[in-house]
Structure 1
Amino acid sequence: MTRRTVRIAMNGVTGRMGHRQHLVRSLLAIREQGGLDLGDGEVLWPEPVLVGRRERALREIAERHGLTEWTTDLDAVLADDRTDIYFDAQVTSARAAALGGAIAAGKHVYTEKPTATDLAGALELARLARAAGVKHGVVQDKLFLPGLRKLKRLVDGGFFGEILSVRGEFGYWVFEGDWQEAQRPSWNYRAEDGGGIAVDMLPHWDYVLHELFGRVTAVTAHVTTHIPRRRDERGEPYRATADDAAYAILQLEGGAVAQINSSWAVRVHRDELVEFQVDGTHGSAVAGLRECRVQHRSTTPRPVWDPDLPATHAFREQWQPVPDNAAFDNGFKTQWELFLRHVARDEPFRWDLLAGARGVQLAELALRSSAEGRRHDVPELSL
């Protein structure tokens, strides 16, 4: 076996997602397994270079994980010929400029979403990457979760017959910061910093729907701020200028309709923080992050509406679990491995910056739909 090092500038690892999912549970996990076996006698060894604004935090993370390279000088690491890949998990408002700089420096880019604060910026990044001839990818982690992989298996196997509708529920109560500390950073609630649940979550739902059920062709949405005042990390009060809930009705190519609610102001009464119910002529399924349960038409009960009598059906007990049938690795790590193979061996990778732009487009049109009070068609994107 020969070992080939790939040097990855990781910008944003002082944040929760960049640190836990991308550094620790993805790249460091790949190192712990001995690198990424490319299957032809070569092993790819990821070498992270931690990038950020807070020197002390970068040094502490590097020392904790036995890493030797970190810097607050993004331009320097992009100018370094040894750097192969630039990864971005910064706040949304800083992302497009950094990605554009990395592309201009000839680096392959892999990034969290949304890729930009507006569709024009997202499309420009895709055009720049194509013109530069660099590899580019966008994190679309929900596709690699066990629950949605089981759901995809049902779709591919024809379990549903004609798919009629998809209903999604996502969210949880984020504390306001007054009597309990908030679970999300305060910038998420400031529009001027790129915050808002619509721009955060609708790009996720776009790729989930696109990959499993069909392209979104129209959107009607109501986007709102339920909690207008919060307290930040220092306990200081601030006005929430970004939305904390988005309710969307989405028309899908082929005729199915999706209804997806996203909220940071909802208390959870479901088995997982996100669940999708898919109903078809031959069967239905409910999938979360890990589990998926089904009900075929041959086992569908016959409830009768009668508000004057107690319910006689234990409805949740009438569904069967979908077996794992495989070992599921961390979803972020799985997509990192696919992207590294794309860079090293030019293997297919369809979750690129154009796919990322599609998610930005849906969020932008949902916000416009809410502001104007009307339905908007979603044009198909191309470069």
Structure 2
Amino acid sequence: MKVHQIGIIMNGVTGRMGTNQHLIRSIVAIREQGGIELSSGDKIMPDPILVGRRANRLEELAKVYQLSRWTTDLDEALSDDYNQIYFDAQTTVRRSEAIHKAIAAGKHIYCEKPTATNFEDAIELAQLATEAGVKNGVVQDKLYLPGLLKLKRLIDSGFFGKILSVRMDFGYWVFEGDWQEGQRPSWNYRKEDGGGMIVDMYPHWSYVIQDLFGKIESVSCIGTTHIPERVDESGNTYTATADDAAYGMFELENGVIVQANSSWAVRVNRDDLFTVQVDGIEGSAVAGLRNCKVQHRVNSPKPVWNPDIPNPFDFQSHWKEVPDNKVFDNAFKVQWEMFLKHVVADEAYTLDLYKGAEGIQLAEAALQSWNERRWVAVPGVKNKVNV
């Protein structure tokens, strides 16, 4: 058995997502399980070097998780041939410049979304990576959530028959930061720093909708800033210049209609922070982050509109849980393992920077729709499989 040690530059791991999902629950978890086993019997062992601007935090993370390598000098990390992969979880406004450097240094690229601040830059990154012959991928973690994997199982089995419509509800109340600390970084609510619901979440909705339900043909969207002022991490009041909610509709090429409500100014009265309801001729399903429940046509109640009497139905009782039938791993870790197998063993992988550009294209179309108050076509991106 051969162990393939692979150096990974992890830039931006001091942020919430970078620390929790990518470092602790993905790379550290892979190391603790003894690496990733290949079909040949060989193993992949990731060896990260933590990169960021806060030396004390990098040193602390390295010590806690028994890692030997960290630096505040990205150029130094890029110049080391041992480091084969560059990973970026920085704020969006810093991402494109760093990825340009990494491609020029011959590193394989794996990064968070959005891959850039605009579609033109996102396409340029994808083209540069292709021309340089480096393998590349973008995080599309929602595809590997247990709830959506169960939903995919239902779709593949033909459970719904003809799918008619989809309703997606995402969001929760993010505290303003005055009398209670906010759960999200303050830059998320400043447009000038790359914040905003549409630029953050529509790249997610792009791959969720198109992977599960069909190609997006057009979008109609309105965004808004429900909370005009917030308080930052230092206790300073600032103006929220970015949208904190977006209400969209998507028309798919196959005729399916998708509605998506996304808000950081809503209090949750549903099964989960993110739910997807799919209605088809033969049955319906509602999926959350982990669970999924179904109602077949033979179990559907027959309500009649009558506001003059108490509701005679217990609607929830007509839904049945879809069983796990397997152990689900962390969604971010699953995709990390796929990308590492792609780099080391050349296993197939299609979630590349062109897919990332598709997400930004949708976000820009939604912003255009909001600005012009009309439906906007989404032409799509010609996807090229990684080299």
Shorter-chain TM-score bucket reads: over 0.9
Distance in 2, matches of 1:284 and 1:270, equals 16
Matches within 5 A, 1:6-25: 6-25=6-25
Deviation at 1:104, TM superposition (A): 1.1
What's 2:257 paired with? 257
Distance in 1, matches of 2:30 and 2:87, equals 16
2:83 is paired with a residue whose SS is: coil
Q: TM-score, normalised by structure 2?
A: 0.98
What's 2:298 paired with? 298
Deviation at 1:377, TM superposition (A): 0.5
Q: Is residue 187 of structure 2 the alignment partner of residue 195 of structure 1?
A: no
Distance in 2, matches of 1:297 and 1:79, equals 60
Distance in 2, matches of 1:262 and 1:7, equals 37
Please give the per-residue CA displacement for 1:199-219, whole angstroms capped at 9, x wherever unaligned. Answer: 111111110011101111100
Please give the per-residue CA displacement for 1:99-122, whole angstroms capped at 9, x wherever unaligned. Answer: 111111110010000001110011
Q: TM-score, normalised by structure 1?
A: 0.99
Distance in 1, matches of 2:340 and 2:75, equals 23
Deviation at 1:39, TM superposition (A): 2.3
Matches within 5 A, 1:202-241: 202-241=202-241
Matches within 5 A, 1:41-60: 41-60=41-60
Please give the per-residue CA displacement for 1:139-166, whole angstroms capped at 9, x wherever unaligned. Answer: 0000001000000000001011111100
What's 1:147 paired with? 147
Deviation at 1:380, TM superposition (A): 2.1
Q: Is residue 377 of structure 2 the alignment partner of residue 348 of structure 1?
A: no
What's 2:40 paired with? 40
Runs of 5+ unmatched residues, structure 1: none
Deviation at 1:245, TM superposition (A): 0.2
Distance in 2, matches of 1:354 and 1:318, equals 42
Q: Is residue 97 of structure 2 the alignment partner of residue 73 of structure 1?
A: no
Distance in 1, matches of 2:19 and 2:381, equals 32
The structure 1 segments of at least 4 consecutive aligned residues displaced by more than 3 Å after TM superposition are none
Distance in 2, matches of 1:174 and 1:115, equals 25
Deviation at 1:267, TM superposition (A): 0.3
Please give the per-residue CA displacement for 1:167-195, whole angstroms capped at 9, x wherever unaligned. Answer: 00000000000000000000000111100
Distance in 1, matches of 2:272 and 2:107, equals 38
Deviation at 1:41, TM superposition (A): 2.6
What's 2:373 paired with? 373
2:4 is paired with a residue whose SS is: strand
Equivalenced residue count is 383
Distance in 1, matches of 2:289 and 2:28, equals 23
Deviation at 1:38, TM superposition (A): 1.0
What's 1:275 paired with? 275
Distance in 2, matches of 1:32 and 1:256, equals 43
Q: Which amino acid aligns with 2:178?
A: D
Please give the per-residue CA displacement for 1:198-244, whole angstroms capped at 9, x wherever unaligned. Answer: 11111111100111011111000001100010000011000001110
What's 2:83 paired with? 83
Q: Which amino acid aligns with 1:95?
A: R
Deviation at 1:3, TM superposition (A): 1.2
What's 2:2 paired with? 2
Q: Which amino acid aligns with 1:315?
A: F
1:84 is paired with a residue whose SS is: strand
What's 1:125 paired with? 125
Deviation at 1:59, TM superposition (A): 0.7
Distance in 2, matches of 1:234 and 1:141, equals 31
Distance in 2, matches of 1:126 and 1:344, equals 20
What's 1:181 paired with? 181
Distance in 2, matches of 1:12 and 1:313, equals 51
Please give the per-residue CA displacement for 1:259-311, whole angstroms capped at 9, x wherever unaligned. Answer: 00110000000111000000011110000000000011111110110011110
Residue pair 2:165, 2:256 contacting (<8 A) in 1 also: yes
Residue pair 2:171, 2:268 contacting (<8 A) in 1 also: yes
Distance in 2, matches of 1:304 and 1:180, equals 44
Distance in 2, matches of 1:364 and 1:76, equals 35
Q: Which amino acid aligns with 2:5?
A: T
Identical amino acids, percent of aligned pairs: 61
Distance in 2, matches of 1:157 and 1:48, equals 40
Q: Which amino acid aligns with 1:137?
A: G
Matches within 5 A, 1:96-175: 96-175=96-175
Q: Which amino acid aligns with 1:86?
A: Y
Deviation at 1:331, TM superposition (A): 0.5
What's 1:242 paired with? 242
Distance in 2, matches of 1:316 and 1:89, equals 40
Distance in 1, matches of 2:349 and 2:210, equals 15
Q: Is residue 359 of structure 2 the alignment partner of residue 382 of structure 1?
A: no
1:311 is paired with a residue whose SS is: coil
2:21 is paired with a residue whose SS is: helix
